[in-house]
Structure 1
Amino acid sequence: MSETSARVAVIGSGIAGASVAFGLVSRDVAVTVFDDAMAGQATAASAGIIAPWVSTSTGAYYETYAAGGNFYPEFLDRLSALGIPELGYRRSGALVVNEDPTFLAEAAHLIRDRIAAAGAVAGEANECDSANLRELFPPIAADMSGLFISGGGRVDGRTLRDAVLTGAKAYGAGLVADTARTITAGTSGTWSVGTTSAVEDFDAIVIAGGARSSEILERLGHTVAITAQRGQLIHLGLHGANTSPWPTLHPLDHHYITPFDGGRVVIGATREDGVGFDVRTTAAGQKQVLDDALRIAPGLAEATILETRVGVRPMSTRPSGLPYAGAVPGAPGLWLASGFGAGGLTMGPLIGDGLAAAILGQEAPAIAHLGL
């Protein structure tokens, strides 16, 4: 499809769907986004960390993750240019910590190489002693060693998603707050989407339904390797603490700590496979999150528990672990953007922009390796 007069439906308004929609409407394509705000959207629950260089991922997944981080300044500039006041992003640094100095030193070697390759967007890396660590992140345990990466950032998933959708609407995108109850293939690659109140016709359709994307595609006769993974996060409140400049905290493990403004600190997250779309807060999940956080930051012990958020991540289970972004084989006009896992807020804007270009028949090297 190369005509900018075409109409495209996007199913899902998480970071994947919102980014695809924004990429399309900014290229003068008419877009309608369908989403029923069902509980469990991963983007809405996420406390995003934009610091791919400190992740434990490797290979092609890491390269995609890092490319997403490199694209962030440009993406944020596009949103800011539209006059959107709040993007939910702050560049406050990332602090990698561990109680084993040898283990940290081994990780630091790789991190420094990655930072050098990324350039200015990643900033600089500096070693921290215990006094430095307490200055940067006061609740931290006394026995930790650390490496501070100045280019690390954090983003509130809900705020960023809303900003991207606001940007898409500024370009003329429509947003339908309803379930796409029917998706039907027409002739010559056209599609129709039915809701409780109407049926609309489109020239192409993008499935960006997060962990439900595989279920949607199955109804259309197609199979992808995407499964659901539950993540529980706890929001803590530190009365009187200026948490705004605190960096994100990374213990080289599955969990993290993400400070926000106003004394709010997010700790998490669980990675629970095999529970489907069960979005309950569980006692075991809460215990794991609290135990993990207090082990590395015991100074959070007296914080107030403000709320728990639960999201269901769309995990790609194909051998490469790479997300999906491309045309669905054998179904003209049908596209997929999903399977981002825990890296959605970092990779989503880049992949969404790349998929928008691909839908219009343009070169999209950023997603060339993510096809179905």
Structure 2
Amino acid sequence: MVHQTISTKIKPAAKASNKISPMRQLLFFRFKPWWAVAVVAAIVGSLAGCGTAPVATAPPSSGYPPPPASVQDTTTLPPVITQAQSRWVPVRWSELPGVEADAVHEAWPAWLQSCQRPTKPWAQLCPEVQQLAGDSVQAQRNWMRQKLQPYRVESHDQRAEGLLTAYFEPVLNASRLPLGAFNVPLYAAPADLARRKPWYTRKEMETNSTVRAALRGKELVYLADPVDAMVLHIQGSGLVNVTEPDGRQRMVRLAFGGTNDQPYKSIGKWLLDQGLIRDASWPGIKDWIARNPSRVNELLWQNPRVVFFKEEALPANAVPPGPKGAQGVPLTAGRSIAVDRSSIPYGTPVWLRSPGPQTSLDRLVLAQDTGTAIVGAVRADYYAGSGQAAGDLAGRLKQPLQLWVLWPR
């Protein structure tokens, strides 16, 4: 998916699951990892499913003995591994905070997704990952200790602390035709997108007759709120409940289909810089728009970047899977992250540590996505899921981060 991250001043807030409350982060620096979407979300500090998936509980132990002392704790550590944007420093399993407390089985569905497209280092281990899917947490943890070596991720100047933000998948209503209030179009990529770099700006798309002609027939759906459209552009994808011309309704996913290659500019930051608001949350922006309807275009045109979408059908009568990340596999709420690919390869299991202040996280996650704002050695964007609760979390989450990659021995 490709998303942007928005960062603003964040006030302490109570824990929440998925989305829509003060989406502070969302307004500042974000072009999401590749996408972001799902259905209802359920999480707080322990987001574990997508959409409406409930938080899983640990399966009963299958009789496996508790994990032995780490092999690494009694052997010589391997050498440092150097990546383009990071260095990996080997550590012992005992140095990973919370490793005995996390319900690692909740990360196994995400790991199985990555094993659908395994990179070379993981091809041999993925059959074992699949065999362990139904095993106990202790068996899974024991296998990880035996097969994987933890490495602390650092920058080349040996800084081991970075930044964690979050993204999510909006769930919106739309019309297939421009009817009543539903008059804000979302477009598929125009035919000449690849021939012009960058393509036209948001303002040119709305005011230039030549550009408008190039977009004619590319309208996928229409939203009723231009700010909701901006949220979708920032997150990179979303679930949309579409009313068809015959009145039927169906849920589809609008997935990331490209951009106009213009730079991302935060409308929340612009409002703050102009002294027009003090709190750049989405509710705050919508409130300003309600009081200044004649300045809506002026505001939205501050961000010249536009996302083009492609429509994806969803399975009938089932919880939709997460949107596909840059690895090409569906994301799992609370267990997928976007990373800088030059620091951590796609499909890598990662131990994530973020102590708050919004929510404390010590958990196993999978590197499955990327984003234009997700740059640097110790940098991650946490996929919170879909819907309002996930949006609330994504809007607040901006806190210190440490990462350890778990790499085959």
TM-score where L is the length of structure 1: 0.27
Q: If each structure's helix is expressed as a fraction of its own residues, which one has the higher value?
A: 1
TM-score where L is the length of structure 2: 0.25
